[in-house]
Structure 1
C-alpha cells in the first residue's frame, strides 16, 4: 500500500482521496506501482487546479461576461465535487467560493455602472431636448439651424435608453426640430413672396425703361427715367440673381437712351466738355462722402449729386464710362451700407432688446424701492441681500441698454 497526505492506494489498487468528510474512492490502478497511481491522480488534480487558475485570471483580468463566468464556475464546482483526483480538493472549493463572491461583486458593479451610464445618458438627452425646444422658437435661422444639426450629431453619438424613455425624448427632440423648420419655411416663404412682388414691379419698370430707350424726347424721357429710378428704389429688393439681371437691363435701357442722345448732340462737344468738368466736380463731391459715417446724410448728399448729375447733361462719350464707374462706386458703397444698416437695425432684434430692457428696468426700480424701505426700517440683513440683488440686476440692465444703443447708434 502507498500513501500521501491527500490520498492512498490499498493492496487491491483502489485509489482514495482524503477530504474533510473522510476518504472517497476516486479510481483503481492495476497497471503499475501504487506511486505511479498516486502520481496519475495528482496530475488530474493539478489539471483541475490549472483550470480554476485560468478562470480566476479571466474573471479578474478580462471583461468576461458574468453569465459566462458563472457557467464556467458551476462546471468547475461540479468537477471538484466529483473529482477523480488526489489533492487538496477543499482548497479548490474555497477558491471557487471566493470566485463566486467576486463574480457577484463584479455583476453588481456592472449593474451600478450601467445604471450610472443610463442616468448620464438620460441627463444628456434631456439637455439636448431642452436646448432644441428653446431653439425651436428662434428666428436666428442660420445659427439655430446649424446648432440643431449639431445636436442631432451629438444625439446619434449617445447610447440608447430603454425604448419607452428614448422614444419619448426623441419625439420631443424631433418635434422641436419640426417646429423650427415650419417657422423657418414660413418666414422665407413670406420673404420670397415680398421679393417676388418686388421682381414683378421691377420687371414692369424695366419694360417701361426699355420702351423709353428709343425715345428722342430728350428732356421728358430723362425726367421719366428719373421717376422710374425713384420707383425702382421704392420697390424693394428682388432675389439677388433677378435683382442683378433686372438692374442690368434697367441701366442698359438708360444707357441706350442717353447714348442716342449723346450721338444726336455730338456737335455740342464744347458744351459736353464743360459738362464733363461739372460732373468731375460732382464726383469729387460724391467721393468725399466716403467713407460713410452718416448713412442718412450720405444718401441725401448722393441724391443731390444724382439730381445735379442728371441735370448737367451728357459728357464726351469717351469720358462717360470712367465718370459713371466712379459714381457707381459711390452708389454701390451706399447700397452696401444700406444693407448693413438694415441688418443692424433688424426690427425683431430691436423689439426683443427693447422688451428685455423694459423688464430689467422695472426689476431695478422695484428693487430700489424695496431697498429704500429696508434701509428706512433698519433691516441690515435685508438691505445687504437687496443690494446684492440690485447690483446684479443693474449690471444686466447696463448691458441691455448698451445692446439697445447699438440698434439706435
Structure 2
C-alpha cells in the first residue's frame, strides 16, 4: 500500500498499515482500519459515513425550522447527533457539522425562550381572565336582583373558568375559593328574596284590599268632581303598591274596575242629561261666535274692542254648554280676542313717538352711510383701485338693503 496514494483527501488519510484517520481542528483521529482493498475505497467508505451523518443533521434542521418540534425533543436529538459526530467513524468536515448543530442549538434555545414567554403570557392572560370572572361573579353576588339572568350568567362564568388556562396552584386556589363564595352568596340572597316574596305579596294584597274597599264605598257617590279626584288618587296608590300574586291581582283589579266603572257610568248619565239641557245655550254661543268672527280682520282696534266687550257680556250670560262643544266654542272666541288684542298692540306701536323717532334715526344714519360709501366708490373708480371698488360696492349693496327694511318699518308709523 503506497502512502502517497492516500494523501489526496483534505479531511482524512489511510496510513500504510491501513489505519484510517480523520482530520479535525484538534488534530487527527483514528476512525477505523482498512485491510480489504485500495486506500481510495477506504476513503470513499468513510466519506459515505460522513454523508449519512450530514443527512441526519440536515433532516434535523428541517424538522426544527419547518415544524413545531418541541424544544426539549429537539435538544435531545441535537445532543445525540453531537455525540455521534464527536465519535463518528467518518471522514469529512466534522467541524462544520458541529457548527451547524451549535447554530441549531442556539435556534432551539431561542425557541425555548419564545415558548416560555408565550406560556408566561398565556398564564398572565389566564390569571387576568380568571380575576375578571371572579370580580364579575362577586358583583353579581352582591348587586344582582334579576335572579334568572344572574344565575345564568354565573353558570356561564363557571364555563369560562373551566375553558381558561390553568395558572399557578396557589393563585388558582384563592381565586376559585372567591368564585365559590360568590356563588354561595348569590344562592343565599336569591333564597332569602323568594322566602320574603310571599310576605311582600301578602302585604301588597292587604294594601290593595283596602284600596278596593274604598273604591267600592265611593261607587255610589254623586259628588262627581271630588269622587273623580279620589279615584285618580286610588289609582296612583294601586300602581305604587306593587304586584300581588297573579290570582289575587286579577281578582282585586276586577273589583276595583267594577266599582270605578259604576261611578263613571252614573256620572256620564247625569252629564249627558245635563248637556241636553245646555243645547240651547250652545246655539246662543254659536250665534255670538259668528258675530265675533265678523270683526276679523281688525281694521279699527278701538271699535273692535268695544264690540267684542259687548259680545263677551252676552256670552257669559248665555250660560254653560255641553262638554263636547265647550272647547270648540271657547277656542273660537279666544282666537277673536287674540286678534283684537294684537291689533291694539300694533296700534300702540304705531302711535309710539319714541319708537317712530328711533326708526327715523336709523333711516337717517343709513342714508348718510350710503352717501359716504358712494363718495368713496367714486374715488376708488377714479383711482383704478379695483379691490376697493369691489369692497365698497358690496358694502353699498348691504346698506341699501338695510335702508329698504328700515324705511318699511318707518312707514308703519305713518
Structure 1 or 2, whichever has the larger Rg, is 2
